[in-house]
Structure 1
Amino acid sequence: MNRLPAPFGSRIDRSRPVRFTFEGKPFEGYEGDSIASALAASGQWVLSRSFKYHRPRGILSMTGADANALVQLPSEPNAAAERTPIGEGLRVSAQNVNGSLERDRDAVMDRFGRFLPVGFYYRTFMGPRRDSWLKFWEPMIRRKAGLGVVDT
């Protein structure tokens, strides 16, 4: 782990290691660490993928308001990795991936970006043949869009 010296008043207790997993791989942080700080200290900077083109997304600001650092917890989608503390045995997953974080099968969508401008589906699939939109295109686009998965 690569860490800066602990500043005065730090909330992180470096005498108490905590083990957790991210994408099935074991990681170690310290009591008081956030998910993002523990992963960054271990060299894991990419946490999820963008929801439209599946481009890699990672830690940007560590301010707690970063939309790029959203992760999937067993009980909660869209958890802010910068604000969520790690806990012993916590299982954290990348968000918005099809397959694994390193080999996202939907990353091919990035190649089609110039053919998919903002709101293209509203103009392209809304015509006299609207039934094809409702039966095929809308369900497919809805499955691919969005972020985390809600456990029901």
Structure 2
Amino acid sequence: MTRPAERDGPSPITGPGARREPSLHQLRLFLVLADELHFARAAARTAMTQPAFSQQIRALEQRLGLSLVDRASRKVVLSPAGRDLVPEAWEVVTAMARLRRRAESCARDRGEELRLAYTPSIGGDFATRVGPPSKASAPSASSPSTPSHCTRA
């Protein structure tokens, strides 16, 4: 596997700092907070308690080494860094959604089952949103050929 040319320097997969990267869950929570600009509403929207939601945002700030939210007043205001990182967070979250869709497509094209494991902390309705495939979307096990983007490793 070759890495893209724009990635010069240490590997983002195994290089220094790889363990300090934010989780996808934390990025999703940050995006909800950026949308709501209210901790309690954002927590409710993600089916979390407000203290647990706040802890995840603080953990994200610690991993990134900067403040995403100005907490000086009663209202939530994104810090300049927080505003700058919203588009980047959206890119990561949407890229992961594309990756998941591609994997599901490959699994369907191969007539294989895609199994997803998750912890309850990623959201109470995750299993319902993903759910089992419907009969219409699940091809027969004798799927003709595997598209070139879905070759087995």
Report the TM-score, using the length of structure 1 for normalisation.
Answer: 0.23
Select the structure that is richer in strand: 1
Select the structure that is richer in helix: 2
Report the TM-score, using the length of structure 2 for normalisation.
Answer: 0.23
